[in-house]
Amino acid sequence: MTQTFYLLRNQAVPDIDRIEVYEANQGYQALRKALKEYEPKALVEMVKASGLRGRGGAGFPTGMKWSFLPDDGRPRYLVVNSDEAEPGTFKDRELIEKNPHLLIEGMIISSYATGAREAYIYCRGEFLFGSEQLKRAVAEAYQRGYLGENILDSGFSLDIKVYRGAGAYICGEESALLESLEGKRGNPRLKPPFPAVAGLYGMPTVVNNVETICNLPPLVENGPEWYRSMGTEKSPGLKIMSVSGHVNRPGNYEIPLATPLRALIEEYAGGVKGGRQVKAVIPGGSSVPVMTKDQLDTPLDYESILAAGSMLGSGGCIVIDDQTCMVAVSARLLKFYREESCGKCTPCREGTFWMTDVLERMEAGEGTPHDLDLIRDMADNIAGKCFCPLGDAALGVVVSAMKYFPDEFEAHVTEHTCPMGARLYDTVNH
């Protein structure tokens, strides 16, 4: 196992969240290099050449996203999405809590590259400590001349503001995030226009995930060839995988892309707890289909995971052991989407509500064989018919779990009991 540390580097250094300690550990050197040695366009080209893809979940090429900004003289904004709330994902929280200056340095480089003079960090409301860390770090960066007017005598000026949400998963969807940042309900916007053309305050806007932006300092230091020396042709570079569930060492692990799933679970995360076996893995956050124990040798890159029927997504890897009931897992996740549906469109609002209801009644032993058809029918009426991706996201686990573990679902409605002999949780209250 080769553990690399670029994104999670210095996490163990005491007080790395303080600017003097960050500086003493090569902090802000990449920014100096970027401002001194690169024209903004050359930086965009570097990001394109590196093949860096958005780490929030969609995996869209970052350099291409940046190049969509129209060159029409209007002010541009960079907005960093720190509304991390996808079950199983906790990398951005660790990045901002422990090493906030890495994000800020990355944001200054990214703003310089894209021509933004104002940048925002949208931090989810529950990240009180994270938002405090960011506010303090931003203030330190102003004091040292990394923010404000004429940064390091480069002629480039930038302001960064930290904005705290107030509890809504949907605000992680970029257009809902922008609505929230404008002081509205976090309902998603119709696309197009995309944020690159009409984003924050109607202006051209780049919305990037925290981890994506944290790639910029090491990328500028080491160059795109270095980045491409890891991973695959289409999925180059590094990814932070958040591993949780039934593992001995839950945590964030930085891997070169295409590391096998088995190595992540067994070597990095210490294997399944209690000597039990893997039953299923949700590799990329709760919105992606499950993988089974037969697929553990799949390399963790976007294409390989897709070929295996799932998605790398946000890298939130939830490991489920062989004593867990997949109906209970599905019910718990559907409840999450029911709670977090913004209610704007009917298939998502009603679909997640009724699917949760049916799954919970099956788990409680009160289901009927007809319920299985009902779930398939509801899934069919949600898939591709919602205003934003949340509805489809709700289906990933339940549809795949029914495919891979049909006997388990059948048994719940024919024997009115859980074949696992144990419930994941008590459904009585819910």
Partner 1 sequence: MKPEWELWAQEAKAEFPKANSALLPLLHRIQSQEHYLSEDTIRDVAVLLKLPVPYVESVASFYSLYYKNPVGKRIIHVCMGLSCALNGSDELMHHLEGKLGIQEGQTTPDGEVSLLEAECLAACNLAPVAQVNLRFVGPVTEDTADQLLTGEVKS
Residues binding partner 1 (CB under 8 A): 84-90, 92-93, 124-129, 161, 163-169, 180-186, 201, 242-246, 250-252, 282, 286, 316, 318, 320, 324, 329, 332-333, 335-336, 339-340, 342, 424-426, 429
Please, what is the minimum distance in Å from the beta carbon of residue 240 to partner 1?
12
Enumerate the β-bridge partners of residue 244. 318
Structure-token match 């591993």, residue found: 243
CB of 102 to partner 1, least distance (A): 18
Q: Give the integer Cα–Cα distance in Å for 359 and 364.
A: 9
CB of 271 vs partner 1, minimal distance in Å = 15
Please, what is the minimum distance in Å from the beta carbon of residue 60 to partner 1?
22
Instruction: Choose between 167 and 369: whose C-beta lies nearer to partner 1.
Output: 167
How near is the Cβ of 332 to partner 1 at its closest, in Å? 5
Tokens of 98: 């422990």
Block residue for tokens 């107030």: 166
Report helix, strand or coil for 1.
Answer: coil
Distance CA 99, CA 111 (A): 19
Q: How far apart are alpha carbons 169 and 340 in whole angstroms? A: 6
Name which of 262 and 338 has its Cβ closer to partner 1: 338
Task: Name the DSSP class of 120.
Answer: E
Q: Which is nearer to partner 1, 87 or 236 (CB)?
A: 87
| Overall size of the chain counted in residues | 430
CB of 254 to partner 1, least distance (A): 14
* Minimum distance from residue 375 beta carbon to partner 1 (Å): 18
DSSP H or E stretch at residue 58: none
Q: Which is nearer to partner 1, 166 or 307 (CB)?
A: 166
Rounded to a whole number of angstroms, the minimum distance from the CB of residue 63 to partner 1 is 27
Q: How would DSSP label each residue in 183-230? A: TS--PPPPSSSPTTTS-GGGS-EEEEEHHHHHTHHHHHHHHHHHHHTS
Quote the tokens at residue 326: 């997949």
Strand partners, 299: 260
**Given the complex with partner 1, which of 246 and 262 has the nearer CB atom?**
246
Task: Output Rg (C-alpha) for the chain, integer angstroms.
Answer: 22
Least Cβ distance, residue 281 to partner 1 (angstroms): 12
Question: Which residues 6+ apart lie within 8 Å of 407 measured at CB?
Answer: 419
DSSP letter string over 16-47?
TTSHHHHHHTTTTHHHHHHHHH--HHHHHHHH
Q: Strand (E) positions, 283-363?
A: 291-292, 316-321
List Cβ neighbours of 49 (8 Å cut-off, separation of 6 or more).
Answer: 63, 224, 228
Q: How far is the CB of 277 from partner 1 (least distance, A)?
A: 15
CA distance 388 to 391: 7
Q: Given the complex with partner 1, which of 301 and 340 has the nearer CB atom? A: 340
Which lies closer to partner 1 via its Cβ, residue 45 or residue 126? 126
Handedness of CA 166, 350, 87, 160 (dihedral sign): negative
Q: 47 vs 342, which CB is nearer to partner 1?
A: 342
User: Helix or strand or coil: residue 61?
Assistant: strand
Phi-psi sector, 16: left (phi>0), alpha (psi -120 to 50), beta:
alpha
- Nearest CB to partner 1, comparing residues 28 and 169: 169
Q: Which is nearer to partner 1, 66 or 336 (CB)?
A: 336
Nearer to partner 1, 168 or 216 (CB): 168
Shortest distance (Å) from residue 430 CB to partner 1: 9
